[in-house]
Amino acid sequence: MQKLGNPLTDTRNLVTLFTVIAVITADQITKAWIRTYPPARVISGFGFVRIVHTQNSGSVFGLFQGH
């Protein structure tokens, strides 16, 4: 006997999948956009938020740089 899927659960799964895809796509697009600017340049700023091109050659929080 086949178990029928719950339409509400299926809809939630699709919404979650599309949300994950949208976030990953937006992340990659903004990374590509920021790489077009030279390092240490303020790309945009509004209020207390600034977007600055920086590079981290290490692990999280700059640990183990150059290794």
**H-helix or E-strand containing 45?**
strand 42-46
Verify that 1 and 32 share a domain, yes or no.
Answer: yes
Residues 42 and 15 in one domain: no
Domain that holds residue 31: 1-36
Q: Examine the domain organization and report whether 49 and 28 are in the same domain.
A: no
State residue 28's pLDDT score. 95
Same domain, 27 and 48: no
Same domain, 4 and 23: yes
Q: How many domains does the chain have?
A: 2
* CA gap 53, 33 in Å, rounded: 10
- 3 vs 14, residue with greater confidence: 14
pLDDT digits (tens, 9 = 90+) for 4-62: 666 667 788 899 999 999 999 999 998 898 888 888 888 877 888 888 888 877 777 76
Task: Identify whether the C-beta of residue 42 lies closer than 8 Å to the C-beta of residue 50.
Answer: yes
Q: Which pLDDT value is given to residue 62?
A: 67
- SS3 per-residue string spanning 6-36: CHHHHHHHHHHHHHHHHHHHHHHHHHHHHCC
Write down the pTM of the prediction: 0.62
1 and 31 together in one domain: yes
